[in-house]
């Protein structure tokens, strides 16, 4: 009896949501896996201007939860982006110039 090759799942159509929020994080403060999902917690520095001087703190701003099966592709994508960024000449970054 021969083994059947695993079926390749067709990629779903990607629909761009113009209302999807962008998230800015200063750092990753933790990551762990639970029940075949990988969870990454992001934080950002915040200032409370209700006091003088303003008190500063780090605040969790969100978590990314993804299936472990997608983690390898995510890792490969990040590695490619970082390697390409390191190979660029200084000052050649896309979007590095502000038009006024």
User: Does the pLDDT of residue 32 top 70, yes or no?
Assistant: yes
Provide the pLDDT for residue 11. 84
Burial string for 17-30 (b: 16+ CB within 10 Å, else e) reads eeeeeeeeeeeeee
Provide the pLDDT for residue 7. 64
Bridge pairing between strands 55-67 and 27-34? unpaired
The order of strands in the sheet holding 37-48 is 27-34, 37-48, 55-67
- Encode pLDDT of 41-88 as tens digits: 999 999 999 989 999 999 999 999 999 989 999 999 999 999 999 888
User: Global pTM?
Assistant: 0.70
pLDDT band at 98 (very low <50, low <70, confident <90, very high): very low
């Amino acid at each position: 009896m021969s083994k059947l090759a695993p079926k390749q799942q067709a990629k779903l159509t990607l629909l761009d949501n113009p209302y999807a929020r962008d998230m800015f994080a200063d750092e990753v403060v933790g990551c762990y896996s639970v029940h075949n999902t990988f969870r990454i917690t992001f934080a950002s520095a915040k200032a409370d201007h209700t006091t003088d001087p303003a008190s500063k703190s780090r605040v969790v701003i969100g978590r990314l939860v993804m299936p472990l099966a997608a983690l390898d592709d995510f890792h490969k994508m990040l590695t490619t982006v970082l390697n390409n960024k390191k190979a660029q000449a200084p000052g050649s970054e896309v979007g590095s110039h502000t038009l006024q």
